[in-house]
Amino acid sequence: MHTDWPLWEVFIRSKQGLDHKHVGSLHAADAQMAIENARDVYTRRMEGVSIWVVQSSDIHASNPDDAESLYDPANDKAYRHPTFYDLPDELRHM
């Protein structure tokens, strides 16, 4: 019995100079077919100039349950942002 082709995640660079961004996923027998299908499924309206495909099983993700321990420590470090510093109005070009 036939089983599904592997799942691939598709990333598209919308124009030269920008990052590739995740746009969705699709099934394909191999990488070449994944790129060809991604072209048909995700770039019908000039959405991209470059395509990356990555087999979904090769992606390692952080666990949402760890979100607190991973990201909360940044919460109380407002001094990492330029707006934290109270400087005189006459100060210019900074």
Under the rule (CB under 8 A), what is the footprint of other proteins? 2-5, 7, 24-27, 29-30, 33, 40-41, 44-45, 61, 63-64
C-beta closer to other proteins: residue 46 or 87: 46
| Inter-residue contact 14 to 47 (CB < 8 Å) | yes
Taking alpha carbons only, the member of 41, 62, 38 closest to residue 50 is 38
Cα distance between residue 27 and residue 44, in whole Å: 18
Amino acid of residue 76 = D
Cα distance between residue 52 and residue 57, in whole Å: 15
C-beta closer to other proteins: residue 40 or 86: 40
C-beta closer to other proteins: residue 15 or 27: 27
Q: Shortest Cβ distance from residue 6 to other proteins (Å)? A: 9
Q: Shortest Cβ distance from residue 7 to other proteins (Å)? A: 7
